[in-house]
Amino acid sequence: MVSTTNSINTTSPNFDLGNWLENIIQNRSEAEKQALIDACNWAEEIHQTRTYADKPYLIHVITVANILAQLGMDTDVLIAAILHDVIDNVDLYEIEKRFGSTVMKLVDGVAKMKFIEELNSQIDTHKQTERLRKMLLAMAEDIRVVLIKLADRLDNMRTLRNQSKEKQQRAAHETLELFAPLANRLGIWQIKWELEDLSLRYLEPETYQRMAKLLDERRLDRESYIQQIMTSLSDELLKINIKADVSGRPKHIYSIWHKMQRKGVEFEEIFDVRAVRILVKTVTECYMALGVIHNKWQPMRNEFDDYIANPKNNNYQSLHTAVIGPEQKIFEVHIRTFEMHHHAELGVASHWRYQEDFNKQDANFEQKIAWLRRMLQWKDEDAGDFIDRFKSEIFEDRVYVLSPQGEVMDLPQGVTPLDFAYYIHTELGHCCRGAKINNRIVPLTYILKSGDLVEILSSNIEKPSRDWLLPQAGYLATSKARSRVRQWFKKQDNHQHINEGRSLLERVLRRLNIRVCNYEQLSKDLNFKSIDKLLIAIGKGEVTTIQIANTFQEQVLSAKKPVKAITENKSATEIHVDGVGGLLTKLAGCCNPKPHDRIIGYISQERGVVIHLRDCPNALRWQDEGNKRLIEVDWSQPNNLKPSYPINIQVNSFDRPGLLFDVCNVITREHINITATDSKSHNNHVDMNFTLEINDLEQLSRTLSKIDNLTNVMKVWRKS
Ligand code: MN
């Protein structure tokens, strides 16, 4: 990771800008040197007598730049840091003109993050903060913006002493919630620990003081103790031919306090106040190193953990032990191979994940951050490459946008304001009419970008459009929102089916002259769970009017006496040819139709009409050829075998020539006997009455419906 290369104290009273610049511009190109000097002069000119925490403002921006220099950041970042607070006084164009577009974008990015910070102070939930963190990372197209912001925040925290108590608390809280975890995720431990310690100092001043006291040795002392251990360990390991990378892991007040809180233990029980990490080549060397340590110092009982043999759930592998070192001080040791370390750094068990008890199982995000940490470690890489890769790889699948209330929404890439509306609430989606992004009206097909402030314009009437469902129209990117729209239309369609079903049912009842109908009973009779379901089925045509008529058979006919009993037993194979009587018929030998099969007739030269099955291969071929000799035929209705009942019907219509003939034709085609008829005309109207002999209600209903469809017929119904 980055290391301290520059130790000039910018806040000391003896600080000399010239010296600092001299130091900073070493090893940079002439152009870069000049740009840095220009930036300092320009910032000085702009800020003039402005102060920050009782010091010239220039000191603040130089300190921020200095922190970044210590992290090994490039010249553009240092210039942007020096200019990070000038945006109120100069416009971006001026910055671009003087220092190029990269610096301008960095300065602009830092300014934008300020707006997010302000939002965070309004809303304070854990989930919200988590999303804000992601949003900050996603918004900063260039990760260096986040680094400048962190350095800025670090100097803010360092100079909080003279602020009001309220301001201290708020800044400390925000830092602990937002910026320290960001630093942690980016692997910048130097900033992370300092932010945490400073926050604790203001949030829990008493605890902080007590802890500081408990750490009776100063940080420097602890570090020199660790240094002593490291040297001695390296020597011991070299004796048995192990080349190890031994490093100290000095702990900080916040992390010790956090551990005490988490484990509910006292300070004395925390062993890892001093900690050492040993990296070796092989697993065998891990255990050999452990042997060396246990030989040299007395191990603490119950403090040895073998996560190499038993890796943690997240695949973290390491040996952990604690021993009593020189001066009877306990220190903790982690031993692992370079490969394990690398693996741990890479996310599945990356260091921050292991150290903090994150209960979020967002593996995808963690993986990306792990990748980011790896990227940050390749300091030598060309900056342009790094930024390009950052832009293209990280967060490519999520966008983070804001509601007007300042709530951060985490949405998939490519979503529109309409998706956003459905994400907030289904009803808001249905009522959505338009949208504003950052206070400007945009089309509903606008693609949201991270950091957009989204406001939905809605009416109070639900009115989704069918166009929203068309993928090529680009209204909705999420399948979830599309399914909401589909559901709405289905509901509407059902509504329409119910209306249509109801009017169809009412028409059937009117025709059959059924005045009282128990809809619930009818639904049950037709096997529907509810009246609505029945009506939908009728409306969609899944239940025919004939099926409905059948259910009234009993009710209508039981009171009537049949006019004919079963008296004769005529041949059941009698065949009726549509429109033509008395033709000679013969059953075809090729397919042998049986009564009730679906049949078709073929007019032969000599044998009259030959009856084939409708799907007989010969018949099919003739149908395909459009053979003119094919005629419609049907098995004769053995009417006279069934009982028939006398029924009176009335037909009201506008008169026209041939109407009576047409009505009679419909009736006789249904093989119904007409036993009486009577017709009265007045003005242009005609009322016709018929007495029919019907076999069942199905037959009647079908007949009534056919009469109803004749031209000029207004109304037809069964008379009681
Ligand atoms: Mn600042």
Residue ranges of the chain whose pLDDT lies below 70:
1-8, 116-128, 130, 136-142, 185-189, 216-219, 249-251, 268-272, 312-316, 342-396, 563-583, 636-642
CA 208 to centroid of ligand 1, rounded, Å: 26
CA 85 to centroid of ligand 1, rounded, Å: 6
- Domain of 526 in residue numbering reads as 492-551
CA 124 to centroid of ligand 1, rounded, Å: 23
Per-residue pLDDT reduced to its tens digit, 403-442: 887 777 888 888 999 999 999 999 999 999 999 998 889 9
Are 76 and 103 contacting, i.e. CB atoms less than 8 angstroms apart? yes
The pLDDT value recorded for residue 94 is 92
Number of domains, the chain: 5
CA 232 to centroid of ligand 1, rounded, Å: 43
- Whole-angstrom distance, CA of residue 475 vs CA of residue 447: 9
CA 68 to centroid of ligand 1, rounded, Å: 13
Q: How far is CA 129 from CA 3, 136, 175, 177, 448, in A?
A: 29, 10, 11, 7, 21
The pLDDT value recorded for residue 454 is 92
CA 77 to centroid of ligand 1, rounded, Å: 14
CA 192 to centroid of ligand 1, rounded, Å: 18
Q: How far is CA 307 from CA 280, 294, 320, 323, 666, in A?
A: 15, 17, 8, 17, 91
The pLDDT value recorded for residue 157 is 94
Q: Give yes or no: residues 453 and 532 share one domain.
A: no
CA 60 to centroid of ligand 1, rounded, Å: 7
Residue 284 zone, left/alpha/beta (φ > 0; ψ -120 to 50; rest)? alpha
Q: Give yes or no: residues 623 and 703 share one domain.
A: yes
CA 46 to centroid of ligand 1, rounded, Å: 14
CA 136 to centroid of ligand 1, rounded, Å: 17
CA 154 to centroid of ligand 1, rounded, Å: 9
Compute the Cα dihedral for 360, 362, 365, 366 and give only its sign: positive
- Whole-angstrom distance, CA of residue 317 vs CA of residue 314: 9
Q: Give yes or no: residues 261 and 357 share one domain.
A: yes
CA 83 to centroid of ligand 1, rounded, Å: 9
CA 626 to centroid of ligand 1, rounded, Å: 90
CA 52 to centroid of ligand 1, rounded, Å: 9
Q: Give yes or no: residues 127 and 53 share one domain.
A: yes
Is 470 among the domain residues? no
Hey, how many other C-beta atoms are within 10 angstroms of the C-beta on 263?
10
CA 30 to centroid of ligand 1, rounded, Å: 27
Q: Give yes or no: residues 146 and 224 share one domain.
A: no
Is 389 among the domain residues? no
- Whole-angstrom distance, CA of residue 638 vs CA of residue 641: 5
Compute the Cα dihedral for 620, 624, 629, 634 and give only its sign: positive
Are 158 and 198 contacting, i.e. CB atoms less than 8 angstroms apart? yes
Q: How far does Cα 1 stand from its chain's mean position?
A: 36
Residue 351's SS3 state is: helix
Q: Give yes or no: residues 634 and 668 share one domain.
A: yes
CA 47 to centroid of ligand 1, rounded, Å: 12
| Closest to 716 measured CA to CA, from 666, 673, 676, 672 | 666
CA 75 to centroid of ligand 1, rounded, Å: 18
Q: Give yes or no: residues 458 and 329 share one domain.
A: no
CA 151 to centroid of ligand 1, rounded, Å: 9
CA 110 to centroid of ligand 1, rounded, Å: 9
Q: Give yes or no: residues 300 and 323 share one domain.
A: yes
CA 157 to centroid of ligand 1, rounded, Å: 11
* Domain containing residue 257: CATH number: 3.30.460.10
**Residue that has been written with the tokens 């016709």 in this structure:** 688
CA 161 to centroid of ligand 1, rounded, Å: 16
Is 688 among the domain residues? yes
CA 152 to centroid of ligand 1, rounded, Å: 5
Is 213 among the domain residues? no
Q: Give yes or no: residues 453 and 518 share one domain.
A: no
Q: How far does Cα 50 stand from its chain's mean position?
A: 47
Q: Give yes or no: residues 199 and 65 share one domain.
A: yes
Does the model's pTM come out above 0.75?
A: no
* Domain containing residue 94: CATH number: 1.10.3210.10
| Closest to 193 measured CA to CA, from 253, 153, 266, 109 | 253
CA 691 to centroid of ligand 1, rounded, Å: 100
* Domain containing residue 431: CATH number: 3.10.20.30
**Residue that has been written with the tokens 């990356």 in this structure:** 350
